[in-house]
Amino acid sequence: MIIHHLQEENSILNKFIAEIRDVKIQKDSLRFRRNIERIGEVLGYELSKKLSYSDVSIETPLGVKREQLSSNEVVLCSILRAGLPLHQGLLNYFDDAENAFISAYRHHPNNNAEFEIVVEYFAAPSVENKTLLLADPMLATGQSLVSVYEAIKKQGIPKEIHIVVVIGSKEGIEFIEDKFPENTHLWIAAVDDTLNSKGYIVPGLGDAGDLAFGSKL
Ligand SMILES: O=P(O)(O)OC[C@H]1O[C@H](OP(=O)(O)OP(=O)(O)O)[C@H](O)[C@@H]1O
Ligand SMILES: O=c1cc[nH]c(=O)[nH]1
Ligand SMILES: [Mg+2]
Protein backbone atom coordinates (compact mmCIF):
# COMPACT_ATOMS: atom_id res chain seq x y z
CA MET A 1 0.00 0.00 0.00
CA ILE A 2 1.24 3.48 -0.86
CA ILE A 3 0.44 5.82 2.03
CA HIS A 4 0.00 9.56 1.54
CA HIS A 5 -0.28 11.21 4.97
CA LEU A 6 -1.26 14.76 4.11
CA GLN A 7 -0.69 16.33 7.54
CA GLU A 8 3.01 15.52 7.23
CA GLU A 9 3.07 18.84 5.41
CA ASN A 10 1.37 21.97 6.82
CA SER A 11 -1.51 23.38 4.79
CA ILE A 12 -5.02 24.87 5.18
CA LEU A 13 -6.14 21.25 5.71
CA ASN A 14 -4.87 21.55 9.34
CA LYS A 15 -7.65 24.07 10.08
CA PHE A 16 -10.40 21.78 8.81
CA ILE A 17 -9.00 18.87 10.85
CA ALA A 18 -8.66 21.03 13.98
CA GLU A 19 -12.29 22.15 13.68
CA ILE A 20 -13.73 18.63 13.37
CA ARG A 21 -11.74 17.55 16.44
CA ASP A 22 -12.50 20.60 18.61
CA VAL A 23 -15.32 19.94 21.14
CA LYS A 24 -16.18 23.65 21.03
CA ILE A 25 -16.72 23.63 17.26
CA GLN A 26 -17.60 20.07 16.19
CA LYS A 27 -21.15 20.16 17.64
CA ASP A 28 -22.17 22.61 14.93
CA SER A 29 -23.24 19.77 12.63
CA LEU A 30 -23.57 21.97 9.54
CA ARG A 31 -19.96 23.10 9.99
CA PHE A 32 -18.84 19.54 10.81
CA ARG A 33 -20.34 18.14 7.61
CA ARG A 34 -18.97 21.00 5.53
CA ASN A 35 -15.48 20.53 7.00
CA ILE A 36 -15.53 16.81 6.17
CA GLU A 37 -16.69 17.78 2.67
CA ARG A 38 -13.84 20.31 2.36
CA ILE A 39 -11.36 17.63 3.46
CA GLY A 40 -12.84 15.35 0.77
CA GLU A 41 -12.18 18.08 -1.79
CA VAL A 42 -8.54 18.43 -0.68
CA LEU A 43 -7.94 14.66 -0.67
CA GLY A 44 -9.66 14.35 -4.05
CA TYR A 45 -7.44 17.06 -5.53
CA GLU A 46 -4.32 15.33 -4.21
CA LEU A 47 -5.29 11.89 -5.50
CA SER A 48 -6.20 13.33 -8.90
CA LYS A 49 -2.45 13.81 -9.45
CA LYS A 50 -2.04 10.01 -9.64
CA LEU A 51 -4.72 9.42 -12.30
CA SER A 52 -4.01 8.86 -16.01
CA TYR A 53 -4.21 11.85 -18.33
CA SER A 54 -4.56 12.16 -22.09
CA ASP A 55 -4.47 14.98 -24.58
CA VAL A 56 -7.86 16.49 -25.47
CA SER A 57 -8.52 19.43 -27.83
CA ILE A 58 -10.75 22.09 -26.28
CA GLU A 59 -12.37 24.72 -28.44
CA THR A 60 -12.52 28.17 -26.84
CA PRO A 61 -14.41 31.12 -28.44
CA LEU A 62 -11.05 32.27 -29.83
CA GLY A 63 -9.18 29.11 -30.74
CA VAL A 64 -8.22 25.60 -29.76
CA LYS A 65 -6.17 24.53 -26.75
CA ARG A 66 -4.94 21.06 -25.90
CA GLU A 67 -5.57 20.07 -22.29
CA GLN A 68 -4.50 16.98 -20.38
CA LEU A 69 -7.71 15.42 -19.02
CA SER A 70 -8.18 12.41 -16.80
CA SER A 71 -9.28 9.36 -18.71
CA ASN A 72 -10.07 7.20 -15.65
CA GLU A 73 -13.51 5.69 -15.22
CA VAL A 74 -14.06 6.52 -11.55
CA VAL A 75 -16.43 4.73 -9.16
CA LEU A 76 -16.84 6.60 -5.91
CA CYS A 77 -17.86 4.24 -3.10
CA SER A 78 -18.70 5.49 0.38
CA ILE A 79 -19.53 3.73 3.60
CA LEU A 80 -22.80 4.81 5.19
CA ARG A 81 -23.52 6.81 7.19
CA ALA A 82 -20.50 8.89 8.14
CA GLY A 83 -19.12 8.60 4.61
CA LEU A 84 -21.85 10.83 3.12
CA PRO A 85 -20.23 14.27 3.58
CA LEU A 86 -16.85 12.90 2.46
CA HIS A 87 -18.57 11.42 -0.60
CA GLN A 88 -20.08 14.84 -1.40
CA GLY A 89 -16.64 16.49 -1.20
CA LEU A 90 -15.14 13.96 -3.60
CA LEU A 91 -18.16 14.17 -5.90
CA ASN A 92 -17.76 17.96 -6.06
CA TYR A 93 -14.51 17.32 -7.98
CA PHE A 94 -15.17 13.91 -9.60
CA ASP A 95 -18.58 15.06 -10.75
CA ASP A 96 -18.92 12.50 -13.54
CA ALA A 97 -18.01 9.51 -11.35
CA GLU A 98 -20.32 6.57 -10.93
CA ASN A 99 -21.41 6.08 -7.33
CA ALA A 100 -21.69 3.21 -4.88
CA PHE A 101 -23.12 3.23 -1.36
CA ILE A 102 -22.59 0.42 1.10
CA SER A 103 -23.63 0.41 4.75
CA ALA A 104 -21.43 -0.95 7.51
CA TYR A 105 -22.14 -0.67 11.19
CA ARG A 106 -20.78 -2.10 14.38
CA HIS A 107 -23.08 -4.66 15.99
CA HIS A 108 -22.39 -5.28 19.67
CA PRO A 109 -24.00 -8.63 20.57
CA ASN A 110 -25.51 -8.38 24.10
CA ASN A 111 -24.04 -4.86 24.41
CA ASN A 112 -20.52 -6.29 24.74
CA ALA A 113 -17.49 -4.10 23.96
CA GLU A 114 -16.68 -6.59 21.19
CA PHE A 115 -18.40 -5.99 17.90
CA GLU A 116 -18.83 -7.42 14.45
CA ILE A 117 -19.29 -5.44 11.25
CA VAL A 118 -22.66 -5.81 9.56
CA VAL A 119 -22.81 -4.92 5.84
CA GLU A 120 -26.44 -4.49 4.75
CA TYR A 121 -27.36 -1.84 2.21
CA PHE A 122 -25.49 -2.38 -1.05
CA ALA A 123 -25.91 -0.35 -4.24
CA ALA A 124 -22.95 -0.41 -6.62
CA PRO A 125 -22.22 -0.42 -10.37
CA SER A 126 -19.59 -2.68 -11.92
CA VAL A 127 -16.08 -1.79 -10.74
CA GLU A 128 -14.38 -4.10 -13.24
CA ASN A 129 -11.20 -2.46 -14.54
CA LYS A 130 -12.26 0.94 -13.15
CA THR A 131 -10.68 3.34 -10.66
CA LEU A 132 -12.28 2.72 -7.28
CA LEU A 133 -12.30 5.52 -4.69
CA LEU A 134 -13.25 4.00 -1.33
CA ALA A 135 -14.18 6.70 1.17
CA ASP A 136 -14.74 6.58 4.92
CA PRO A 137 -13.85 9.44 7.27
CA MET A 138 -12.72 7.16 10.12
CA LEU A 139 -10.28 4.24 9.92
CA ALA A 140 -10.30 2.85 13.47
CA THR A 141 -9.80 -0.93 13.60
CA GLY A 142 -10.04 -1.08 9.79
CA GLN A 143 -12.73 -3.76 9.87
CA SER A 144 -15.41 -1.66 8.12
CA LEU A 145 -13.15 -0.82 5.17
CA VAL A 146 -12.09 -4.44 4.72
CA SER A 147 -15.68 -5.74 4.98
CA VAL A 148 -16.86 -3.22 2.38
CA TYR A 149 -13.98 -4.06 0.06
CA GLU A 150 -14.90 -7.76 0.33
CA ALA A 151 -18.50 -6.84 -0.57
CA ILE A 152 -17.68 -4.64 -3.55
CA LYS A 153 -15.33 -7.24 -5.05
CA LYS A 154 -18.51 -9.04 -6.17
CA GLN A 155 -18.90 -6.23 -8.73
CA GLY A 156 -15.53 -6.90 -10.41
CA ILE A 157 -11.82 -6.29 -9.93
CA PRO A 158 -10.87 -2.59 -10.07
CA LYS A 159 -7.85 -1.48 -12.08
CA GLU A 160 -6.69 0.64 -9.15
CA ILE A 161 -7.93 1.59 -5.69
CA HIS A 162 -7.63 4.86 -3.80
CA ILE A 163 -8.77 4.73 -0.17
CA VAL A 164 -9.77 8.14 1.19
CA VAL A 165 -9.76 8.67 4.97
CA VAL A 166 -9.94 11.74 7.22
CA ILE A 167 -8.56 10.36 10.51
CA GLY A 168 -7.00 6.92 10.96
CA SER A 169 -5.24 5.00 13.69
CA LYS A 170 -1.81 3.43 13.27
CA GLU A 171 -3.36 0.06 14.19
CA GLY A 172 -6.09 0.41 11.57
CA ILE A 173 -3.59 1.29 8.84
CA GLU A 174 -1.50 -1.74 9.78
CA PHE A 175 -4.62 -3.94 9.72
CA ILE A 176 -5.73 -2.93 6.21
CA GLU A 177 -2.27 -2.80 4.62
CA ASP A 178 -2.09 -6.43 3.49
CA LYS A 179 -5.84 -6.77 2.76
CA PHE A 180 -5.71 -4.66 -0.41
CA PRO A 181 -3.61 -5.03 -3.59
CA GLU A 182 -0.06 -3.71 -3.20
CA ASN A 183 -0.56 -0.78 -5.58
CA THR A 184 -3.51 0.59 -3.53
CA HIS A 185 -3.11 4.23 -2.48
CA LEU A 186 -4.23 5.40 0.97
CA TRP A 187 -4.94 9.15 1.11
CA ILE A 188 -5.21 10.02 4.78
CA ALA A 189 -5.38 13.49 6.29
CA ALA A 190 -4.44 12.70 9.91
CA VAL A 191 -2.94 9.69 11.72
CA ASP A 192 -3.51 9.20 15.48
CA ASP A 193 -1.60 6.90 17.81
CA THR A 194 -4.18 4.80 19.63
CA LEU A 195 -7.60 3.17 19.90
CA ASN A 196 -9.53 2.95 23.16
CA SER A 197 -11.16 -0.23 24.50
CA LYS A 198 -14.31 0.52 22.44
CA GLY A 199 -12.31 0.79 19.21
CA TYR A 200 -12.54 4.60 19.04
CA ILE A 201 -9.59 6.60 17.76
CA VAL A 202 -7.77 8.60 20.48
CA PRO A 203 -7.65 11.58 20.39
CA GLY A 204 -9.70 11.28 17.15
CA LEU A 205 -12.90 13.28 17.14
CA GLY A 206 -15.56 11.03 18.69
CA ASP A 207 -18.30 9.50 16.57
CA ALA A 208 -18.24 10.94 13.06
CA GLY A 209 -21.68 9.57 12.11
CA ASP A 210 -23.32 11.04 15.21
CA LEU A 211 -21.59 14.41 14.78
CA ALA A 212 -22.74 14.63 11.16
CA PHE A 213 -26.28 13.28 11.56
CA GLY A 214 -27.18 13.03 15.27
CA SER A 215 -27.07 10.17 17.73
CA LYS A 216 -28.92 6.92 17.13
CA LEU A 217 -30.67 4.54 19.52
O1 LIG B 1 -12.38 1.00 11.32
P2 LIG B 1 -13.58 0.55 12.07
O3 LIG B 1 -13.24 0.05 13.44
O4 LIG B 1 -14.41 -0.41 11.31
O5 LIG B 1 -14.43 1.85 12.39
C6 LIG B 1 -14.66 2.83 11.46
C7 LIG B 1 -16.12 2.89 11.11
O8 LIG B 1 -16.83 3.51 12.17
C9 LIG B 1 -17.59 4.59 11.65
O10 LIG B 1 -18.84 4.15 11.29
P11 LIG B 1 -19.91 3.69 12.38
O12 LIG B 1 -19.82 2.21 12.60
O13 LIG B 1 -19.79 4.57 13.58
O14 LIG B 1 -21.28 3.92 11.63
P15 LIG B 1 -22.00 5.30 11.28
O16 LIG B 1 -21.30 5.85 10.10
O17 LIG B 1 -23.40 4.92 10.97
O18 LIG B 1 -21.93 6.19 12.48
C19 LIG B 1 -16.79 5.04 10.47
O20 LIG B 1 -17.49 5.82 9.58
C21 LIG B 1 -16.26 3.76 9.90
O22 LIG B 1 -17.16 3.20 8.94
O1 LIG C 1 -13.13 6.88 16.45
C2 LIG C 1 -14.08 6.42 15.81
C3 LIG C 1 -14.20 5.05 15.53
C4 LIG C 1 -15.24 4.61 14.81
N5 LIG C 1 -16.18 5.49 14.38
C6 LIG C 1 -16.07 6.81 14.64
O7 LIG C 1 -16.92 7.59 14.22
N8 LIG C 1 -15.04 7.24 15.36
MG1 LIG D 1 -20.74 6.10 13.98
ipTM of the complex in this document:
0.97
Residues of the chain with pLDDT under 50: none
- Any idea what the Cα angle at residue 14 is, between residues 50 and 211, rounded to 5°? 100
What's the pLDDT score for residue 115? 82
The burial class, CB within 10 Å (0-12 / 13-18 / 19+), for 117 is middle
Domains and CATH numbers, the chain: 2-21+30-52+67-213 (3.40.50.2020)
Neighbours of ion ligand 3 (CB under 5 A): 207, 209
What global pTM score does this model have? 0.96
Q: Which residue has a Cα nearest atom 14 of ligand 1?
A: 105
Query: In this structure, which residue's CA is closest to atom 2 in ligand 2?
Result: 200
pLDDT value at residue 34: 98
Atom index in ligand 1 nearest the CA of residue 147 equals 4
pLDDT at residue 217, as a whole number? 83
Looking at residue 110, its pLDDT comes to 78
CB of 139 closer than 6 A to ligand 1? yes
Q: What is the pLDDT of residue 29?
A: 98
The identity of residue 10, as a single letter, is N
